[in-house]
A and B are shown apart, each in its own frame.
Chain A
Amino acid sequence: MNPQNQNQPPRWAQKFISWYCKPSLSEDLIGDLNEYFYRNVHTLGPRRAKVIYIIDAIKFLRSYTVGTPHFLNHIINHIMIGSYIKTSGRNLMRNKLFSLINIAGLAISMSVGLLLIAFVFDLHSYDRFHEDGERIYRVNSIQTTTADGSRKFPSASIKTGRLIRENVSGVEEVAVLRDGFAADAEVGDHILPVRGFWAEPSLLNVFTFPMLEGNPHTALRDPYSIVLTELAATKLFGYEPALGKAIRINSSEYLVTGVIKDVPFFSHLTFEALVSLSTLERNSEAAADFEEWTAMWQNYVYVLFQENADMVSIQSQLNAIAENENLGLEHTAVHLNLIPLHDVVVGEKLHRSEGLHMMSPNIPPKLLWAFGGLALIVILSACFNYTNLSMARSMRRFKEIGLRKAIGANKNQVWQQFLTEAVMISLAALLISFLLFLVLRPQLIYMAPELQQLVKLKLTPVVIFYFILFSISVGIIAGFMPAIFFSKVNVIDALKNSSPLKIFKKVSFRRGLVIVQYTLTLIFITTTAVGYVQYKSILAFDLGFNTENILNIDMQGNNPDLFIKELGELPEVSGLSRSTIVTNVGNAWGGFMKYSNPLDSVLVMTNEVDENYLALHDYAFIAGGNFITRPTEAKAVSEVIVNQQVLKRFDIANNDPEQAIGKEIIFSNAHGNGRVMTIVGVISDFHYGKLDNLIEPVAFMYWTPEVPATVNAKIQSNDMPATMAKIESAWKKIDRVHPFKAKFYEEAIEEAYSEFSIVIKLIGFLSFLAISIASMGLFGMVVFTTESRLREISIRKVMGANSGNLVYLLSRDFLLLLLISAGIALPVTYFTFENTILNNFPYHTPVQLTELLVGLLAVMVIACMMIGSQTIKAARANPAVVLKSE
């Protein structure tokens, strides 16, 4: 600081005074203060002088010095809201058709935006109730194998949790959860199935699950402790206190050590009960690989980091742990990475290890962006309507603007007026679209059970605030171009009653908008058509086996023998079999197979089935035949039926099915390590996974009671409800506790692809909106053009033009625009599907031209109706009537 500056009064204090002070007073006031300041500099020194100056500056902030704020003046004098509202209102009433098109279009399109806002808001409220949520991370495992490449799982091994707790700095707490606690809880003669997790005691410290009864620090410490949610406790014990009571689960006694509040709806972890993880450690049920580094399929590790923890160094520590542990592994490696708790729901889509109970909701941000983009297109389409129609009608308002400008309105004011008008219209549209939102909300939520569990779309003040904000921004977008356009109007031109032709200068811009609008609409509608056809072809796909009329009944832990006996007596059941899982709906069950090379171990998908399964589903044998032995325990299983991919993968008998019969493989999974099995049959390839997977090696083994059971019943019935009732009463005989869970195979497949059906329904809905909005816009434009050319048409008619010529003349331009749109939209849709979307489906049917043309035809027919009705009306008008008024 230079000395001269030192002896100056503080700049900002002066600015402060001139900011708040009335202009008439500020100059001499500052002057006075300055004078005192210079005096004080001499007597008290610059430092104290400055302090006094600042204090005085603040002290002078009094009622008589403060002026009315500038911006207030600005608003009162310049915006003239009252006048604008009046003119906007008159204008709305004068052009009822255009107002209707604008408001209806904006309302329809904005309802989509409102749904999306509420949806995104719900997704972002997931897991926000955890007090330390910012510091909680989940450990993901990235498994790299030579066969499958790299895959990321949301789970991690129990050992990972222990290693992080012991070795990583900056960790406050680690909690391990083990998935798959699902059992029947017995209290007296009360039986209730409960689901939840095995959990470490630290879980209640990491997450915020407030405990109503019991000690959160010790509740999950001892083996055979169980913590219930309020709801589960009420179900089991009624209104008696549950704490300290015993529950029987699988013939073991568990002690209720705590009751927590019910898990909030917006939690990615959902459970009814937590059982201490230490129970498993001393339980023989625990899998053999419980403590292994690679046993990462069933557990979730959550870490609460200290505040200001250095995430970079933590990641490198995790890498070091993984490196160290991977040293002992061959052909596979596991790496760790962290994902913030708040990114679990709206975040990367991870692989799911099969057979887990936990269904953690997950929406990839890309999907949200995609839907946001689609909604934006629909909204923009409505904005285009507004822009287009207001500019087309501009000449009717030229006088008004000319007058406003002549009496002193400047550019800014005109532009503010038109923006105000647009925002007013969009706010009016908001009211209607809010009603639409209320109507559409249940439709969206009940569209799929997944959505019902995912969102509520409740209205909160914040959401409403965003609705209004959204509506205002839509208004600004819609009104932006007209506002700029009108503000540039030349006063003299406007008042001189210049020919309307001049105003059509912007015609190419408006044409461009129509083309963009129709191109997007066409893309929407053809996408829906193509997607629908593809979806149907997926459902009707030849999977390589027969699923017709097969009812799959989940045995839920019961032995299927009794049930099969019961069903066998029903005349409608023509065939029965047992299997472990239902294939082709995303389920998987597998183990590791080796052939001659002991190092080449491959993950092979399996299904444990009985001797009737393959015949019931019409699997095609290429060589060999059905199982010969009927083992009753997993250890004794010695036969396997494989598909062609297994032979190919291991190069068994040079890929010759006949020669492969009798060859031996070694198979390991949770029910037996290193079992030697003989290939007794080879079946042709079929789809085990969903259609977005390639066909992979699959093996069938004989079903034994250790593995879960599904009963497959082939049903031939003319009265399906009666038959289902009979089957259900058969189920009641063997299991009173669990509700009957059965699904027809085809239904199950349909459900497995429900995400596609949801997407198609949504896009279908959006394309319906897009086409309505675009049609309304087109209609408005046609009405306007024909109206303004009515005289021209009449003169042409007098000169001898016939109606056909005139219709052609009037509609030529519009049809040309539509054709250009079609020329852009159809190839874009075709190539997007063929090269991007359908690449994920290796077995898809190619996109047909018919699907594309159907969409085009629909749009064209509607557009032609719009154009036709108006042009024909104009062409038929009596020229005498029209020209008389001239």
Chain B
Amino acid sequence: MKGTNIGEFEELVLLTVAALLDEAYSVAICDELSSQTGRTVKLGVVHAVLNRLEEKGLLDSHLGEATKMRGGKRKRFYQLTISAKEALVNTKSVRDQLWERIPTLTWKNI
């Protein structure tokens, strides 16, 4: 199933949204991602991904309060949906299983 599989960047964004709790809006997500991963993350990319995730039903959004900082425009806050949580947990468990199957010996040979 294509819908429940998520890409690497999508996974990062979802995790960031979860980590930021109530403060998850595009600019904050962007900053957080930049500081956590160390790569430059463009707003355009994040915006597109947030939009796509919302279309897939992995994110919910609502508009917040207007702030002066944004020229009177409201922020759009994101929240994970149940299916996002499932998708994340699913991804994590797949990885954990794979990790566990790697014997310690293998690492030494690399």
**Which residues of A are at the interface with B, using a C-beta cutoff of 8 A?**
8-9, 25, 27-36, 38, 56, 59-60, 62, 64
Top 7 nearest A-B pairs by Cβ distance? A31-B73, A28-B76, A31-B70, A34-B71, A34-B70, A35-B70, A32-B26
Residues of A within 8 A of B71 (CB): 8-9, 30-31, 34
Is B82 interfacial (CB-CB < 8 Å)? Answer: no
Residues of B within 8 A of A59 (CB): 44
**Contacting pair A35 B69 (CB below 8 A):** yes
What are 5 A-B pairs at a CB distance below 8 A? A27-B76, A28-B74, A35-B69, A59-B44, A64-B52
Residues of B within 8 A of A38 (CB): 69
**Contacting pair B70 A64 (CB below 8 A):** no
Give the complex CA separation of A38 and B51 in angstroms.
24
Q: Which residue of A lies closest to B55 (CB)?
A: A64
Interface members, chain B 1-55 (any A CB < 8 Å)? 25-27, 43-44, 47-48, 51-52
- State the total of A-B contacts with C-beta under 8 angstroms: 48
Residues of B within 8 A of A35 (CB): 27, 69-70
**Contacting pair B27 A32 (CB below 8 A):** yes
Give the complex CA separation of A31 and B66 in angstroms.
9
Is B85 interfacial (CB-CB < 8 Å)? Answer: no
Residues of A within 8 A of B44 (CB): 56, 59-60
Residues of A within 8 A of B26 (CB): 28, 32
Give the complex CA separation of A31 and B71 in angstroms.
7
**Contacting pair A56 B43 (CB below 8 A):** yes
Give the complex CA separation of A30 and B71 in angstroms.
9
- A96 to nearest B CB, angstroms? 55
**Contacting pair A60 B27 (CB below 8 A):** no
**Contacting pair A32 B43 (CB below 8 A):** yes
Is B63 interfacial (CB-CB < 8 Å)? Answer: yes
Give the complex CA separation of A724 and B108 in angstroms.
124
- A10 to nearest B CB, angstroms? 12
- A50 to nearest B CB, angstroms? 13
**Contacting pair B25 A28 (CB below 8 A):** yes
Residues of B within 8 A of A25 (CB): 51
Give the complex CA separation of A51 and B52 in angstroms.
28
- B67 to nearest A CB, angstroms? 8
Give the complex CA separation of A28 and B69 in angstroms.
12
Q: Which residue of B lies closest to A38 (CB)?
A: B69
- B23 to nearest A CB, angstroms? 13
Residues of A within 8 A of B73 (CB): 27-28, 30-31, 34
Within 8 Å by CB of B48, from A8, A9, A32, A64, lies A64
Give the complex CA separation of A35 and B69 in angstroms.
6
Give the complex CA separation of A32 and B76 in angstroms.
9
- B49 to nearest A CB, angstroms? 11
Give the complex CA separation of A62 and B44 in angstroms.
10
Contact with A along B70-96 (1 / 0, CB 8 A): 110111100000000000000000000
Q: Which residue of A lies closest to B31 (CB)?
A: A39
- B25 to nearest A CB, angstroms? 7
Residues of B within 8 A of A34 (CB): 69-71, 73
Within 8 Å by CB of A28, from B48, B52, B63, lies B63
- A92 to nearest B CB, angstroms? 48
Residues of A within 8 A of B76 (CB): 27-28, 31
Within 8 Å by CB of B70, from A32, A56, A62, lies A32
**Which residue, B25, B70, B76, has most C-beta atoms of chain A within 10 A?**
B70
Give the complex CA separation of A62 and B63 in angstroms.
22
Give the complex CA separation of A244 and B70 in angstroms.
83
- B72 to nearest A CB, angstroms? 8
In addition to A28-B76, A30-B71, 17 A-B residue pairs with Cβ atoms within 8 Å of each other are: A27-B73, A28-B25, A28-B26, A30-B73, A31-B70, A31-B75, A31-B76, A32-B70, A35-B69, A36-B43, A56-B43, A59-B44, A60-B44, A60-B47, A62-B48, A64-B51, A64-B52
Give the complex CA separation of A29 and B70 in angstroms.
10
- A691 to nearest B CB, angstroms? 82
Residues of A within 8 A of B75 (CB): 28, 31
**Contacting pair A27 B63 (CB below 8 A):** yes
Residues of A within 8 A of B63 (CB): 27-28
Residues of A within 8 A of B70 (CB): 31-32, 34-35
- B40 to nearest A CB, angstroms? 13
**Contacting pair B27 A36 (CB below 8 A):** yes
Residues of B within 8 A of A27 (CB): 63, 73-74, 76
Residues of A within 8 A of B43 (CB): 32-33, 36, 56
